[in-house]
Amino acid sequence: MATSPAYQGRKKLRQLANPRLTAIVEDVVRLCRPAKVTVLTGSQDDMEYVREMALAKGEEFPLAVPGHTVHFDGYYDQARDTRNTRILAVPGESMGRGINAIGRSEGLAEIHGLMGGIMAGREMLVCFYDLGPVNSRFSIPSLQITDSFYVAHCQNLLYRQGYEEFRRLNGSPEFFHFIHGVGEVDERGNSRNLHWRRTFIDLQENRVFTINNQYAGSSLGLKKLAFRLSIHQSLREEWMCEHMFISGVFRPVKNRITYFTGAFPSASGKTSTAMIPGHTIVGDDLAFIGPGTDGGAWAANVEQGIFGIIEDINAADDPLLWRVLTTPREIIFSNVLVKDGVPYWSNMGREIPDHGFNHSGEWHRGKRDAEGKEIPFSSKNSRYTLRIDELENADPRANDPQGVPVGGVIFGGRDPDTSVPVLEALTWAHGVYCGATIESETTAATLGRQGVLKHNPMAIVEFLSIPLGRYLSKYLQFGEALRVPPRIFRTNYFLRENGRFLNGKLDKKVWLWWMEGRVHGEFQALRTPIGWIPRYDDLRSLFLEIFAKDYRVEDYESHFALRIDRLLERIGRMEAAFAAEDHIPEGFFLEMEREKRELEEARKYFGEGQASPLAFT
């Protein structure tokens, strides 16, 4: 090779006998010019090497609890950079209104120019992972090339090792690959050239380039970057790739477990729904879903770990996670405050020190940044990374090559004044409409303003690599092809009145048990224009069963009142949003027209404002 780097593990590469793989690695070496190349196969020694080097290089720091480390992203590199994340589009290809694209030739020229010598003086790691369970119909072998030990450590926690999957390829070129370069770093080891931060997704070659960043949501190729490749690939096949958790809802009195998938925009209750005490977790973020021989849908977790938002996790509201986060095991914390080796984050239920070390360096209460803004002690997008099998509620089928059967699909939003806490869609097509019309208040997980109501179909819009119309058509076709499609539900845990949340954080367990009962035909429901809603008596029984507390009829009325004017206003926003999209399927508009017509009829009957759910009995 032209740069003649020290090459550790060349034999491991040759043993895979994969010409495309070898060519990719050699091309990256020539372009990025690392001082050393290390090939990692996922052995225990390799895993220990990555972790030790992350500490030795200062990419992570040890904490007081054994196995716990902390990583700090740059002050302005703590969220997905959607502005500089682009799909490389071929001439004549329409990507749709919401997709940030750049011409493929232009994009490749730019990224290759920026990557020239980007790893000079650094060690390049060649890592092998598997998206989905190993040796499964859901498996996608994936190659990660990076010069960040933190990135490799994160991916060792989040993804199954894939060297043997590459061996099973027998030389096939069918795999994903990801190239990440930290770029020039500052005195804290953070990427310096954020104005050259780029993430380019090449659908033609199933590859991603991502440079001048360290935040795991952007630098980890197998996270949301591989997600875009998977969505594009699944369009041509019988399965789907979704931004969904997979959880097992366990009803002790029935001695049964029912699996749900769920899509929620960031900070809308996704992880907390997947982590309900007494339930099991298969995965918290990404799911492959395909048809089963039983005529239903089956789902597998793309990942083996969790990269979760840590803000608001505390012993009272999240006992399972709290125990894991405060006891010895392998965990990476990011962008929290550290004092005497102890991590602190927002709303954790502990007194926060007045000074310590965080994403801004040495921190003290009242410290301000260059723009004069007060620096919070912990980033609102602070995170934790761990393996799912560290959790006591990890589902025994989490790595089953067949996946798990899906009883229900949940779409959740973060909506302060419109949607009821839970409803069931009238049909599969209506469920697709429910998922496509999700609106949520924006949070700290993406760069930009917070607290703005954003339309986010299926909580996937910022990750789409195909036009929205084609994606919705695939959704409709997938359900129609199933003999027994899952039921579809919609949730909203964030209704507020006079600034006060109407739902308790733990109430979601009641909504889940109601959904589980509906899957098994055990609860009747009230037919409304927006879908089936629970009956008061059923919810009252569930509150008594789960929490041994009464559920007042006045609470039921405030939770499940149909806010007709607000619902019609939302339809107006949806009409405008989807009118601007191409090739939206006719079935979607038929559902919108039906819901609008029925709501207008309800307004004539009930008048303006709200309609009590008791009126639908």
d(CA 228, CA 243): 10
Please give the angle made by the CA atoms of 203, 131 and 58, to the nearest 5 degrees: 95
Which ranges in 206-365 belong to alpha helices (H)? 216-219, 226-234, 270-274, 319-325
**136, 191, 247, 268: the active-site residue:** 268
Active site residue 379: no
As given in the structure block, the two tokens for residue 395 are 């589902």
d(CA 141, CA 233): 13
Buried residues in 444-475 as b, exposed as e (16+ CB within 10 A): bbbbeeeeebbbbbbbbbbbbbbbbbbbbbbb
126 neighbors 5 (Cβ within 8 angstroms): no
d(CA 396, CA 400): 8
User: For the CA atoms of 145, 150, 156, 161, what is the dihedral angle to 10 degrees?
Assistant: 10
d(CA 534, CA 600): 22
How far, rounded to the nearest angstrom, does the alpha carbon of residue 182 sit from its chain's CA centroid?
A: 23
Please give the angle made by the CA atoms of 158, 440 and 314, to the nearest 5 degrees: 55
250 neighbors 280 (Cβ within 8 angstroms): yes
d(CA 582, CA 98): 11
515 three-class SS = helix
Residue 349's CB: how many other CB atoms inside 10 A? 11
Beta-carbon contacts of 251 under 8 Å, excluding residues fewer than 6 positions away, are 257, 258, 513, 516, 517
Q: For 120, what's the count of Cα atoms within 13 Å in the CB-facing half-sphere? A: 7
**Residue 602: strand pairing partners:** none
d(CA 420, CA 48): 48
d(CA 246, CA 290): 13
Length of the chain: 617
d(CA 551, CA 478): 38
270 neighbors 343 (Cβ within 8 angstroms): no
Q: Closest Cα partner for 183 from 166, 174, 195?
A: 195
d(CA 605, CA 603): 5
Enzyme catalytic residues = 268
